[in-house]
C-alpha cells in the first residue's frame, strides 16, 4: 500500500507541477467555475497519463509549496460529477490526508486520476462555465490546455510516476509510527485501534456519551494508518460506531430545529468493508428524512431571518436575541429549503461573506448546512 502523506511529499519535492500532477491552494466545486476548472485538469491529466496514475494536490501554496490545508471533504459521490460531465471518464478518487502541523480540522486533499489504459480520449460531455461540450484538454508542462487538433495520447510518465510511488510505499515502521502518533495526538479523545484481515490498521477517537442506553461519539476522527488517510471526520455531537470482523460502520446524525427546539436526525451511514485480497471499499447511504413544519410558522421565521441579513447589510447592531438567531440562521434556511422554500439556499449562499465577517459560529454552521445540502443533492 502507498503511504499517501509520503506520496504528497514526494510529489511536491519533484520540482514543480508538470504533466502528471497539479497543485491547488483550494478547489470549490459548489460553483460552476470551480467545477469547470477541476474537470479541465482531470480531463488534461487523464489524456496525458494513459498508463499511470496522475494527481492533484489541494491545500498547497503555489509559490513556495507551503502546506496550508483545506477543510475535510467527505463527498464520496465525486465520481458522479466526473461521469456527468466527461466522455470516456477516468476513475477518480478524493482522499483527505492529515499532516501533523495542520489544525485537526484541516487536511491536504489528494485527487487520484486512475489510468484508463485503452488510450481513449477524455473530453467534456457538455458545456460548463466557459468551456464547451466536446472540448479536449492536454497537459503542456504545468498547464492544462485545450487541444483542438493533432490529438495524440502518449505514455510518457509511467516510469517516473512508478518510481515516485515506489518511494512512498508503506512498511511496518511507518505503520507502527502512525499508530503511536495517533494515540499520542488524540490522547484526550479515547483513541482506539483495530486490525482487520491481519493487514489493515484502523484508528479512531472521539468523546463518548450515553443517551437512552445507546453509546454515541462526538469529535470523531477515523484514520486508515496503512495509507495515512483520514476516512472520516466530524465535529457533530452525535455519531454511532460499530464494527465486526470485516467492516467498520459509522452512522451520522444531524442536529436540526427552529428557535430553541432541536432534534437529532439520522443522516448518513458509511460502511468501510475490508477484503481478504488487501483491498477495502467505502460505501455511503443517505438515511435522512427532512423534518416538516407548518408553513405559516416557517414564513414568519423565514421573514425574521431575512430581516437579520438586511441588518447586517446596513451594519445595524444586533440584539442579544438576534445574535442567537444569526448563529442558527444557516440551519433555519436549510430547513426552509427542505420545506419547499426554494430561494432559501440562494439567499443563504449570498449571505456567506456577511456571516463570515460578523459571526464565526454562524459561518461554521453555514459550511455544515452546505455540506448537508450537497449530500442531499447528490443522493
Output the pLDDT for position 249. 97
Residue 226 domain boundaries: 172-286
Banded pLDDT at 103 (limits 50, 70, 90): very high
- Cβ–Cβ < 8 Å for 190, 206: yes
Banded pLDDT at 30 (limits 50, 70, 90): confident
Q: Are residues 313 and 269 in the same domain?
A: no
Does position 17 have pLDDT exceeding 90, yes or no? no
Q: Are residues 237 and 119 in the same domain?
A: no
Q: Are residues 133 and 202 in the same domain?
A: no
Output the pLDDT for position 15. 64
Contacts of 270 (CB under 8 A, 6+ apart): 76, 232, 249, 250, 251, 252, 282, 283, 284, 285
Q: Are residues 73 and 26 in the same domain?
A: yes
Domain closes at, from 286, 319, 346:
286
- Cβ–Cβ < 8 Å for 116, 50: yes
Residue pLDDT, tens place only, 354-364? 999 999 999 99
Beta bridge partners of 275: none
Other beta carbons within 10 Å of 13? 10
Q: How far is Cα 27 from Cα 31, in angstroms, rounded to an integer?
A: 10
Q: How far is Cα 169 from Cα 370, in angstroms, rounded to an integer?
A: 36
Does position 213 have pLDDT exceeding 90, yes or no? no
Grid cell digits, residue 242: 460499530
Domain closes at, from 251, 286, 321:
286
Closest CA to 107 of 237, 223, 20, 226: 223
Residue pLDDT, tens place only, 110-123? 999 999 989 999 99
Q: Are residues 32 and 57 in the same domain?
A: yes
Q: Are residues 282 and 299 in the same domain?
A: no
Q: Are residues 108 and 23 in the same domain?
A: yes
Residue pLDDT, tens place only, 57-72? 999 998 889 999 999 9
Share of the chain above pLDDT 70, in %: 98
Banded pLDDT at 24 (limits 50, 70, 90): very high
Residue pLDDT, tens place only, 226-268? 999 999 998 777 899 999 999 999 999 998 998 888 899 999 9
Q: Are residues 299 and 242 in the same domain?
A: no
Q: Are residues 217 and 117 in the same domain?
A: no
Residue with cell 485480497: 277
Q: Are residues 96 and 178 in the same domain?
A: no
Structural domains of the chain, count: 3
Residue pLDDT, tens place only, 294-315? 999 999 999 999 999 999 999 9
Q: Are residues 322 and 356 in the same domain?
A: yes
Other beta carbons within 10 Å of 346? 11
* Cβ neighbourhood burial of 191 (10 Å; 0-12, 13-18, 19+): middle
Banded pLDDT at 210 (limits 50, 70, 90): confident
Does position 76 have pLDDT exceeding 80, yes or no? no
Q: Are residues 158 and 13 in the same domain?
A: yes
Region 329-338 average pLDDT: 96
CATH number of domain containing 123: 3.30.950
Banded pLDDT at 142 (limits 50, 70, 90): confident
Domain closes at, from 134, 150, 166:
166
Amino acid at each position: 500500500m502507498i503511504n499517501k502523506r509520503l506520496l504528497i511529499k514526494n510529489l511536491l519535492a519533484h520540482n514543480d507541477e508538470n504533466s502528471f500532477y497539479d497543485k491547488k491552494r483550494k478547489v470549490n466545486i459548489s460553483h460552476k467555475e470551480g467545477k469547470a476548472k477541476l474537470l479541465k485538469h482531470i480531463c488534461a491529466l487523464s489524456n496525458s497519463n494513459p498508463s499511470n496514475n496522475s494527481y492533484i494536490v489541494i491545500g498547497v501554496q503555489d509559490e513556495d509549496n507551503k502546506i496550508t490545508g483545506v477543510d475535510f471533504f467527505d463527498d464520496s459521490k465525486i465520481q458522479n460529477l466526473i461521469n456527468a460531465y466527461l466522455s470516456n471518464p477516468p476513475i477518480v478518487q478524493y482522499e483527505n490526508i492529515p499532516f501533523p502541523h495542520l489544525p485537526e480540522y484541516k487536511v491536504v486533499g489528494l485527487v487520484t486520476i486512475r489510468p484508463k489504459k485503452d488510450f481513449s480520449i477524455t473530453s467534456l460531455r457538455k458545456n460548463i462555465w466557459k468551456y464547451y461540450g466536446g472540448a479536449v484538454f492536454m497537459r503542456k508542462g504545468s498547464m492544462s490546455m485545450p487541444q483542438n487538433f493533432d490529438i495524440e495520447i502518449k505514455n510518457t510518465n509511467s516510469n517516473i510516476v512508478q518510481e515516485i510511488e515506489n518511494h512512498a510505499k508503506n512498511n511496518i515502521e511507518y505503520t507502527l509510527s502512525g499508530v503511536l502518533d495517533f494515540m499520542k495526538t488524540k490522547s484526550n479523545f479515547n483513541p482506539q485501534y483495530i486490525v482487520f484481515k491481519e493487514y489493515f490498521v484502523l484508528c479512531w477517537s472521539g468523546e463518548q456519551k450515553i443517551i437512552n442506553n445507546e453509546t454515541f461519539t462526538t469529535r470523531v476522527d477515523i484514520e486508515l494508518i496503512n495509507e495515512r488517510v483520514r476516512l472520516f471526520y466530524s465535529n457533530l455531537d452525535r455519531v454511532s460506531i460499530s464494527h465486526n470482523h470485516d467492516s467498520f460502520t459509522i452512522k451520522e446524525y444531524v442536529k436540526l430545529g427552529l428557535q430553541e427546539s432541536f432534534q437529532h436526525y439520522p443522516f448518513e451511514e458509511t460502511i468501510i468493508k475490508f477484503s481478504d485480497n488487501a483491498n477495502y471499499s467505502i460505501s455511503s447511504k443517505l438515511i435522512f428524512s427532512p423534518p416538516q413544519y407548518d408553513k405559516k410558522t416557517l414564513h414568519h421565521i423565514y421573514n425574521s431571518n431575512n430581516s437579520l441579513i438586511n441588518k447586517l447589510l446596513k451594519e445595524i447592531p444586533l440584539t442579544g436575541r438576534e445574535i442567537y438567531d444569526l448563529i442558527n440562521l444557516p440551519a433555519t434556511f436549510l430547513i426552509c429549503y427542505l420545506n419547499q422554500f426554494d430561494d432559501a439556499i440562494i439567499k443563504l449562499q449570498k449571505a456567506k461573506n456577511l456571516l463570515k465577517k460578523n459571526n464565526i459560529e454562524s459561518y461554521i454552521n453555514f459550511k455544515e448546512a452546505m455540506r448537508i445540502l450537497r449530500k442531499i443533492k447528490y443522493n
